[in-house]
Amino acid sequence: MRRRTPTTSLALALVATLATASLAGTASAAPAPALAPAPAPAVAALAAPDVSLSNIQAHLTQFSSIASSNGGNRRSGSAGYTASVNYVKSRLQAAGYTISEQYCTTCTYPGNNLIAEWPKGPSDQVVMFGAHLDGVAAGPGINDNASGSSVLLENALVLAAQNPTMTKRVRFAWWNGEEQGLQGSKHYVNQLSSTQRGYIKGYYNFDMVGSPNGGYFINRITSATAAPLKAYWDSLGISPEENTEGQGRSDDYSFANVGIQTSGYAAGASYTKSSAQAAKWGGTAGAAYDGCYHRSCDNSSNINTTIVNRAADGVAYAIWQLAVGGGTPSNDFSVSVSPTSGSVARGGSTTATLSTATTAGSAQTVALSAGGAPSGVSVSFSPSSVTSGGSATMTVTASASATTGTFTLTVTGTGSATRTASYTLTVTGGSGGCTGGQLIGNSSFESGTTPWTASSGVITNSSSQAARTGSYKAWLNGYGTSRTDTLSQPVTLPAGCASYTFSFWLHIDTAETTGSIAYDKLTVQVGSTTLATYSNLNKAAGYTQRTFNLAGYAGQTVTLKWTGVEDSSLQTSFVVDDVTLQVG
């Protein structure tokens, strides 16, 4: 969640007034009709799938690992943010979502919003669920806001796996630049036409839904839009409260300002839990909801799993109430895997326990299968089917020539419905499989151009830009005219190593004066995957080391590539030196 600045604090009364006016319907921003769900049902009628907490925790682990591999954070514009986008995108693409990435040029740190739409239901009747994907530079941002991002990701995967009949279109969004002022969501709503805004019948926001000393808060709790979220938490006897701390501070505000009805869950940030709240929700009175808010300790230990679980199931309930026809089967079940990840060497095997539970009605036969295994890896179950409530042993076996790397297996139970769980598998080389060392040839550019491929003049000893070491470096752009420069080198990563660290030193010098617009950009890729994008906004004195984990490419030959694109005026120089790819 965005930190409240002094200016924001002084303007709170005006913000609240503007938001209320917008939601009431002004001449400039007439609101879309509010959703009108059925009255709050009894607990037994909450016919929505149980969202797996273990799967959500697996996503949180992935975001934590991404931060650890990319300088300790997932701030917008950073390699950690780019890797976060790629992780979410890959899972959604595999599930069948229609994906679009929207580049926010007006963001302080330009980067992509990720939009995923389930391609079922009427396209002019949209229910939208969003969370900001970025964190702050101070830490990995696990509660703020990998928690909301993970809850939405797992709900999206559950919806795809169940593939129910849809009465409305469901759209998910992960936002860039929330921490710099809700910039990604503002960019998104500003580019919508009035007709497209009218299609969105409700926007639901999820920001910090796992605060360790958290509470149960709902945005605009008395509104019709909030009704399904409140109905689910009411059914658990939680007694939620209005999210006063979050007013105007997260991405729902961007939608409210253009007349779209909003709600959402939150668990609290730096505000203090009262004695009355501690009495009904537990936790510590007089302490912040999240004592690690915007700090380095906002890591994987900074999560209240009970609140996360209840938020995730409440999201599922809202989706089913608002957009799904026909409900769920009268007999239903869930699937989980323990542990949620494992490693196997070529020629070896590993096991995990698949468990099922009857979640509604009577027990039923559930057939077990798995997908997503790489070449040379097989997955079997003993027994191959169970009665819900039972368990089976999952065995993963890798051949001597299995593809190495890290992969996500989708474990599926098929009965009256289809239920899934995720298992992260790492395949390593067999004994003696790793040949370590530094893999980049001519890494400091001091030995001519071989084995580099570069645009004319990129590899140079010009004194106008200093090398970090020696005399030569790769200098992309810097002309002040429209120009594209490239630099690349193919490299083969051996299988079976414990680490694959790619790094280079980058100096960015620019004559651009803007503090908000990325006119000139440098994109870093491995194969077709973008690792990071830098721009004139990242200018700094001297060189900065940029580091990435390429373990996912073990056993492959890939091309490392830098592409600099400069506009027609005011130069930006991207200077690269001392490139290494160290494996071992």
- The answer to whether residue 244 scores a pLDDT higher than 70 is yes
pLDDT digits (tens, 9 = 90+) for 265-308: 999 999 999 999 999 999 999 999 999 999 999 999 999 999 99
CA of residue 33 relative to chain centroid, distance: 30
Lowest mean pLDDT among 134-143, 280-289, 301-310, 418-427: 418-427
Residues 6+ apart with CB under 8 A from 379: 370, 373, 394, 395, 396, 397, 409
**165 three-class SS:** strand
Instruction: With cut-offs at 50, 70 and 90, classify the pLDDT of residue 361.
Output: confident
Cis ω for the linkage preceding 37 (within 30 of 0): no
The confidence score (pLDDT) of residue 75 equals: 97
The confidence score (pLDDT) of residue 433 equals: 59
pLDDT digits (tens, 9 = 90+) for 447-496: 889 999 999 999 999 999 999 988 999 999 999 999 999 999 999 988 87
Q: Which amino acid is at 314?
A: G
- The answer to whether residue 264 scores a pLDDT higher than 90 is yes
- The mean pLDDT value of the chain amounts to 88
- The answer to whether residue 355 scores a pLDDT higher than 50 is yes
- pLDDT above 90 covers a percentage of the chain that reads 69
**With left for phi above 0 and alpha for psi between -120 and 50, is residue 568 left, alpha or beta?**
alpha
The confidence score (pLDDT) of residue 480 equals: 94
Nearest CA among 291, 287, 270, 290 for reference residue 278: 287
Q: What is the DSSP string of 473-521?
A: EEEEE-SSSSEEEEEEEEEEPPSS-S-EEEEEEEEEEE----SS---SE
- The answer to whether residue 263 scores a pLDDT higher than 50 is yes
Q: What share of the chain is helix, strand, coil (3-state, %, to 5)?
A: 25, 35, 40
Q: How many CA atoms lie within 13 A of 345 on its CB side?
A: 10
The confidence score (pLDDT) of residue 155 equals: 97
- The answer to whether residue 27 scores a pLDDT higher than 50 is no
Task: Give the residue numbers annotated as catalytic, written as ranges.
Answer: 178
Delineate the domains of the chain, giving CATH numbers in brackets: 53-324 (3.40.630.10), 331-428 (2.60.40.10), 437-583 (2.60.120.260)
The confidence score (pLDDT) of residue 496 equals: 78
